[in-house]
Amino acid sequence: MSVAAQGVLLESLSFAALPLTTLLSFALTSLLIELTPGPNMAYLAVVAAGEGRKPGLATVAGVALGLALLGLAAAVGLAELISQSRPVYEVLRWAGVLFLLYLAFDAWRDAALDDAPRDRSSLSYFRRGLVTNLLNPKAALFFITVLPAFVDPAGPLLTQNVALVAVYVAVATAVHAAIVVLAAAFEPILTDPERERRVRRVLSLLLAAVALWFAWSTRM
């Protein structure tokens, strides 16, 4: 490859005035954060193991959109405004906790329905993934605490922020999709109704535990 071609390649990789090393460092940081157990990981495992890959991937799409919207809000300063307003933050935080508890209850209720058909569409799972993340102040705090450390104050701030948000959403979506694929692999094992019911109840209890952990870890 010629020197000129190498220069073009590096320029294309170093978009938004951010060097490639910064983008790779941020991507690694995002990966480590996403591999830490949290609400998204727990709920995606519940959906994929109980409902299959298609509902799980629909939920992943909703989660991705939610993260992107939070990231864009942080880029224009809305997330920081929320974090500085204690009442607004608490309302958002407890709404997220209650929504997770509702999802846990819904999973438990599904387990009690035995073999009754479930008529939820992919759009329904997409909406649940979206709402779960829009009500997640911890994700918003990531965008206003961790992300700025990778921004060059001398460069175009909005462009850099949007680029980093895109990197984070891409990494998070890859991790979430992998969780869905792995969890969905267990769906055929759940063909026995009694076994499926027990697994669903265990997963719903774990999701409820995650909701309580979320309430504790996001307190200010």
In angstroms, rounded to a whole number, what is the distance separating the alpha carbons of residues 125 and 55?
6
What is the percent of the chain where pLDDT is above 70? 70
Task: With 0.85 as the threshold, say if the pTM is over it.
Answer: no
What is the percent of the chain where pLDDT is above 90? 18
- Nearest by Cα to 115 from 215, 38, 16, 193: 193
> Could you tell me the two tokens for 3?
């020197």
Check residue 119 and report its DSSP letter.
-
User: 3-class SS at 155?
Assistant: coil
- Nearest by Cα to 160 from 172, 173, 149: 149
C-beta neighbour count of 133 within 10 angstroms: 24
182: Cβ–Cβ under 8 A, 6 or more apart, which residues? 48
Amino acid making up residue 68: A
Block residue for tokens 């920081």:
80
Q: What are phi and psi of 152, to 5 degrees?
A: -90, 115
Q: For 158-194, how does the pLDDT look when each residue is reduced to its tens digit (9 = 90+)?
A: 788 889 999 999 999 999 999 999 888 876 665 556 6
At residue 195 the predicted structure's pLDDT band, cuts being 50, 70 and 90, is low
CB 66 within 8 Å of CB 40: no
* Cα-based distances in Å from 120 to 59, 127, 131: 12, 11, 16
pLDDT of residue 60: 95
Q: What is the mean pLDDT of the chain?
A: 76
CB 111 within 8 Å of CB 207: no
> Could you tell me the two tokens for 127?
């909406």
Using the CB atoms, write b or e for 77-88: b if 16+ within 10 Å.
eebbebbeeeee
In angstroms, rounded to a whole number, what is the distance separating the alpha carbons of residues 170 and 30?
10
Q: Where are the alpha helices (DSSP H) in the chain?
A: 3-13, 20-34, 39-51, 53-75, 78-84, 86-112, 122-134, 137-145, 157-184, 193-217
CB 136 within 8 Å of CB 75: no
At residue 9 the predicted structure's pLDDT band, cuts being 50, 70 and 90, is very low
User: 3-class SS at 209?
Assistant: helix
